[in-house]
Amino acid sequence: MNHQTRHPSPIGRTVLLCALLCVVIASASADLIPDIFKKVEVEREIWREGEQYVGLAAQGSTAAAAAPNQHPTKLDSGEVRDALRSLELWEKGGLLRDEQAMPVFTQGQAETLGRYLPEALARAKPEQDAIFVVRGYGSIVMDTLKEREWTSGRAFYVDGRLNVILGSFKVKKDRGIRNAEAAYGVLNNYSDMYFDPGTRKERSAKMPGRVVSTTGVSFYGSDAGGRPDWILIDVAKAAVAYREGLVPEEEKKRDMSARQEAAKLTLERRQMREEMARLRQQLKEISSGGASARSVEDRLSTLQELKTKSLISDDEYQRRRDEILGDI
């Protein structure tokens, strides 16, 4: 009796392979599988609105190696807001200004962080960072619709600069999951989403380009091995540069022209005061006879100059001229 050996079909082999893989994963030690979705514990909440928040948390898993922050610190809310608004992301490489740029934070996100980050850092301890999640809206379907997206990270103050590490950048909820939830009547549920607060240890934020180094803005590390997700901000300088960038070019030219004209008038006034002081001294010498050694021509020339600059009246000019001529 012949027995035929039956081999599993390709689909069967795939199912069997997946089953074996699941067994291997299940039997692996939990310590070998990093818990990347473990949420950071918020030690103190500063502000919350739905899934958005600003709070205080420990420096992170590398806290032992991290230098203490300069906390608590006092930062100006408006300067922090404008410094964050100055951050731009260029989507293409190169050094030319014709690259397509997008703001790292929307106007609303910068407004929120500008309001609550200074409050958080003013309450923070040296071993604490401020962590945040802020919501924005990205365009979809030829810019006709808006879709929610979130940016998260951590901020701390060291060596006179605000450090911002981006963990998640403009992340969106998976449309498939959102549609499946909607089928069961669940709408606008974002409690299951994970927002990475970032870490000093390694880069986690995936961005479609690079943040630009501008006035007051640089990065942690060298140019070759730097962290484009770890931004160092001189808050005052970056805020001033942002505000100056909002001024139209024509207005800048008018302002520069006005400043130059004011400086010119100031110089002319100073020169005029110096000249008037010199001429008054000469007038005093003429009146006191201290200039008797000078030639008649010099004295008449000085007298004429005083009259021309309206420092003496016509009558006084004639009287002093007669006195000089009388000395001959």
pTM: predicted TM-score of the whole model, two decimal places: 0.64
Write the DSSP string, 123-146. H--TTEEEEEEEEEEEEETTTTEE
Task: Please tell me the predicted confidence (pLDDT) of residue 83.
Answer: 97
Report the 10 Å Cβ neighbour count for 181.
15
- For residue 185, give Cα distances in angstroms to 40, 174, 179, 182, 188: 30, 17, 10, 5, 10
- pLDDT given at position 25: 42
| Coil/strand/helix, residue 157 | strand
What does the alpha-carbon distance between residue 255 and residue 142 come to, in Å, rounded to a whole number? 40
Listed by start position, the domains of the chain span: 44-246, 258-326
235: number of CA atoms within 13 Å, CB side?
A: 22
Question: Cβ distance 56 to 44 under 8 Å?
Answer: yes
* Full DSSP string of 252-276: HHHHHHHHHHHHHHHHHHHHHHHHH
Signed CA dihedral, 253, 255, 259, 262: sign only? positive
Output DSSP code: residue 26. H
> What pLDDT score does 209 carry?
81
Q: Residue 138's pLDDT is what?
A: 80
The residue ranges of the chain whose pLDDT is under 70 are 1-38, 61-65, 92-99, 139-144, 182, 186, 222-225, 248-253, 255, 282-283, 285-294, 327-328
**Tokens 């005083």 belong to residue:** 306
Mind listing the pLDDT tens digit for each residue in 54-105?
999 999 755 456 789 999 999 999 999 999 999 998 876 545 555 577 899 9
E strand map for the chain: 44-49, 52-58, 88-90, 101-103, 128-140, 145-158, 161-171, 210-211, 217-220, 227-233
